[in-house]
Amino acid sequence: KKLGIALVGLGSYSTYQLAPALLDTEHCYLAGIVTGTSEKEQIWADNYAIPKANIYNYQNFDTIAKNNTIDIVYVVLPNSMHADFCIRAARAGKHVICEKPMAITVPECDAIINACKKANVKLGMGYRLHSEPYTQEVKRFVKEKTFGAVNYITADAAYRSSSNPDQWRLNKKLSGGGALMNMGVYAIQSIIYGTGENPNSVSAQEFSTRPEYFKETDETITAQFEFPSGAVGNIMTSHNARANRLYASCDHGWFELDPASTYIPLAGRTSNGKLEFPQESQQKLQMDDFAEHILYGKPNRAPGEMGRRDMVIVEAIYESIAQGGKKIDFDFKPEYGFGG
């Protein structure tokens, strides 16, 4: 059986990554769309053979509950809209995939998790890297201590934004924040699966060089972490620099991914030599993994609790900055440190 997925929000990620990947997936397919732009309806219906009955807008979305051909709703909207649509999808009895960042506050993450529990539906984050072979190799290094214990880890996730001052990513109401909400989540993920631990504490700094462009949202943030094992971590995220890397220094060597979180192709090296894995669509792997989780009980590689943990860290980073770099302590349970 192939599960039917409905994409909510047909922006660039849905158009150029998710929908093409759904032509290759083995355990799910693009069954429906939810769009606020009526001109897109016919184009998508033609391109992906979507029946009229499986096309929804934001107003009639809740009637998707009656549609047995849709099993999973995948929310790919601006960040501040994730909670509303994930909760509505759960109430409609659909399994949910939520794009990153999970929401714009921790209470919103809780509301999504609770709605999915109450409706007895599965919830997965759009954290595609957990299904990707270079990232899985990093997790293996950590689990098997291939290079011994990790002592220091650093991760950068950044690009330079300059083209469109009106985009929703620069609008705090829609994005919840700037580089940290957008790319920073990847850097946070990197240092956690790169150590296999949730952090004990963070202190953070913000830098601004173009306040006229970044009127409401953070431009560049750095943050330092302590981990229970004694490992120390550092992240840099920015909308004003190009960087995409994970590097870990261990007792007996090191490993590095550069790039570490772009779509394709990732690349990696270690103190033992180059890493090489076949390149496949990360989105295809991710959506098939989630479908197999629903169909066959395969582990959920990126559960909602993982998205919530990352939002706790995001909020702590903003709090640390607001308090002049003060160290903020965490009290995490260990189980979502590593991912399935």
Which residues 6+ apart lie within 8 Å of 86 measured at CB?
A: 73, 75, 96, 98, 103, 112, 115, 116, 123
| CA-to-CA separations, 284 to 92, 251, 288, 296, 316, in angstroms, rounded | 25, 35, 6, 17, 33
- H or E element, residue 135: helix 133-144
Count the neighbouring beta carbons within 10 Å of the beta carbon of residue 232: 18
Select 126 or 339, whichever has its Cβ closest to ligand NAD.
Answer: 126
Site membership for ligand NAD, residue 159 (CB under 6 A): no
> Is 186 known to be catalytic?
yes
Select 15 or 234, whichever has its Cβ closest to ligand NAD.
Answer: 15
Which residues 6+ apart lie within 8 Å of 331 measured at CB?
A: none
* Listed ranges 11-19, 83-91, 264-272, 322-330: which one lies at the site for ligand NAD (CB under 6 A): 11-19
Establish whether the linkage from the previous residue to 334 is cis, with ω within 30° of 0. no
Q: Which of 101, 257, 268, 103 is nearest to 186 (CA)?
A: 101
Select 231 or 243, whichever has its Cβ closest to ligand NAD.
Answer: 243
Site membership for ligand NAD, residue 128 (CB under 6 A): yes
Select 37 or 323, whichever has its Cβ closest to ligand NAD.
Answer: 37
The footprint of ligand NAD on residues 69-98 (CB under 6 A) is 76-79
On the CB side of 116, how many CA atoms lie within 13 Å of its CA? 24
Count the neighbouring beta carbons within 10 Å of the beta carbon of residue 253: 14
The single residue of 134, 186, 193, 336 carrying the catalytic annotation is: 186
> Is 213 known to be catalytic?
no
Query: Contacting ligand NAD (CB under 6 A), which of 2, 24, 29, 36?
Result: 36
Query: Contacting ligand NAD (CB under 6 A), which of 23, 26, 37, 271?
Result: 37
* Listed ranges 9-17, 139-147, 300-308, 310-318: which one lies at the site for ligand NAD (CB under 6 A): 9-17
Site membership for ligand NAD, residue 12 (CB under 6 A): yes
Site membership for ligand NAD, residue 126 (CB under 6 A): yes
Q: Do 316 and 330 contact (CB within 8 A), yes or no?
A: yes
Q: Which of 301, 177, 316 is nearest to 239 (CA)?
A: 177
Site membership for ligand NAD, residue 100 (CB under 6 A): yes
Site membership for ligand NAD, residue 177 (CB under 6 A): no
Select 37 or 271, whichever has its Cβ closest to ligand NAD.
Answer: 37
User: Taking CB positions, which residue lies at the least distance from ligand NAD?
Assistant: 11
Smallest distance, ligand NAD to C-beta of residue 108, A:
13
Q: Do 205 and 222 contact (CB within 8 A), yes or no?
A: yes
* Listed ranges 6-14, 137-145, 158-166, 271-279: which one lies at the site for ligand NAD (CB under 6 A): 6-14
Please give the Cα distance from 155 to 187 (Å, whole number): 5
Q: Which stretches of the chain bind ligand NAD, using CB under 6 A?
A: 9-14, 36-37, 76-79, 99-100, 126, 128, 168, 174
Active site residues: 100, 186
